[in-house]
Copies of this chain bind each other. A is one copy, B any other.
Amino acid sequence: MTPTRLIRRAACAFALGALFVAAPPLHAQPKPANFIVIYCDDLGYGDLASYGHPSIRTPELDRMAAEGIRFTDFYSGAEVCTPSRAALLTGRYALRSGMAGGRRVLFPNSPGGLPASELTLAEALRDRGYATAHIGKWHLGIHEGSRPQDQGFDYAYGLPYSNDMDGRDGLPGGAAKSPNPPADGWNVPLIRNGEVIEQPADQTTLTRRYTEESLRFIRESRAAGKPFFLYLAHTMPHVPLFASPEQKGRSPRGVYGDTVEEIDTSTGRILAALREAGLAGDTLVVFTSDNGPWLTQGLQGGSAGLLREGKGSTWEGGMRVPALAWMPGRIAPAVVRQPASVLDLFPTALALAGATAPAGLSFDGRDLGPVLFEGRTRSEYPFFYYRGTRIFACRLGKWKAHFRTQGGYGDPQPAVHETPLLFNLEVDPSETTDVATNHPDIVAKIVAATKAHEATVVPVPLQL
């Protein structure tokens, strides 16, 4: 065993937030790879054809899945939008950056945002010479210090928050969940590099415009000879649902399907552009969602498939999401059933860039490289299901313990479980059968891991 391997093994054995190791990773390559994250809003676990949906047609994503890795057990960083995005961009649970609790997400009148002091993936990669772009929904703050251009993005184009915020005066309650929402119902601005370029944003063409902006950014980065990081955060399929005139009415699944199928088309265009530019083998593309489906939106919300509950809850349906990873020639086609999460993406991208984390910064996620590029199984480590500032559940290997349970929306109080509920997620993915009494050792191990994790959380000012 080489010294490098020894160090890596020691790091893997470390039970909590992994320190990024300074030695070059096994899959290091001389040329920094490009990285694209395609992030959907409220797309559910069951909403792609390759995850079993019968009437949403996603041929491009199905092809991406067939050519790459389809994850069955991939998690968002939180149960709702803002903390989930903070976790993605920092590689750490949102509570560590203060982006949790309070009103659950940022609103247009919220004073807080992602602190400027936080290191984002965009900043880390820009420091390594990457061109960086955020295209799409932001939702990490609108004030100086928190905006995309303050957080490492050379280029920013999109909405500052959710598309159902900033409703116009007199908008009827429930308008957002209509299958035909009013085009002028929300006053949300479209912003380019800090300047409002359209208000209200024409939401019907957002997915297409995000796509075109993304393609231009890829082209220009290539022309400049720079590696790039693209964070494409779609506004859809979050209500109110809008599709382009070309797409509207085409999906058998109705307007919800229209928006997902338009994202499918968008993804196909991006992968095709990478292939045509000869960049496919140098670009890791990850497709996923910020949380589960918003079930209270009725037919305008998605499906968690066989999973329990949806967005807002820490049952599996709230946080287990579709996830695909694609890098032809580097990633061999596979279905991966190991747990992984959006928290892993920061360390993964750093390793792909040939970079190391700054001294003193510890991630909650871990490099996915061994899984993606070497077909290896990572050693197990705990994943925490936060709801606001509290840990509601923890997954360790195939086991999940719930300390608290609560419906995503409309359930006023959590049920607190003095003896945690325990589910074997492999045998029981729908979380029907509590087996805690049969496995007190597992429960104790998870409780201990959770306490150890909590001890690492340094209090910071809460932003929400």
Contact = CB atoms under 8 A, between A and B. Distances in A.
Interface string A23-61: 000000000000000000000001001111111010000
A460 to B, nearest CB: 35
A299 B433 contact: yes
A253 B73 CA distance: 14
Nearest to A53: B306
A299 B306 CA distance: 13
Contacts of A54: 72-73, 306, 337, 429
Interface in A305-348: 305-306, 335, 337
A398 interface: yes
A144 interface: no
A450 B46 CA distance: 33
Given A305-B305, A306-B306, A46 B52 contact: yes
A379 B252 CA distance: 17
A53 B425 CA distance: 12
B306 A55 contact: no
A11 interface: no
Interface string A384-400: 00000000000000100
Contacts of A299: 427-428, 432-433
A383 to B, nearest CB: 15
A52 B426 contact: no
B55 A429 contact: yes
Given A252-B398, A304-B306, 6 more contacts: A49-B335, A53-B306, A54-B337, A254-B424, A254-B426, A306-B306
Nearest 6 CB-CB pairings of A with B: A52-B52, A252-B426, A54-B72, A254-B427, A55-B426, A51-B52
14 contacts: A46-B52, A52-B52, A52-B305, A52-B306, A66-B66, A252-B398, A253-B427, A254-B424, A254-B426, A257-B427, A298-B432, A299-B428, A305-B305, A306-B306
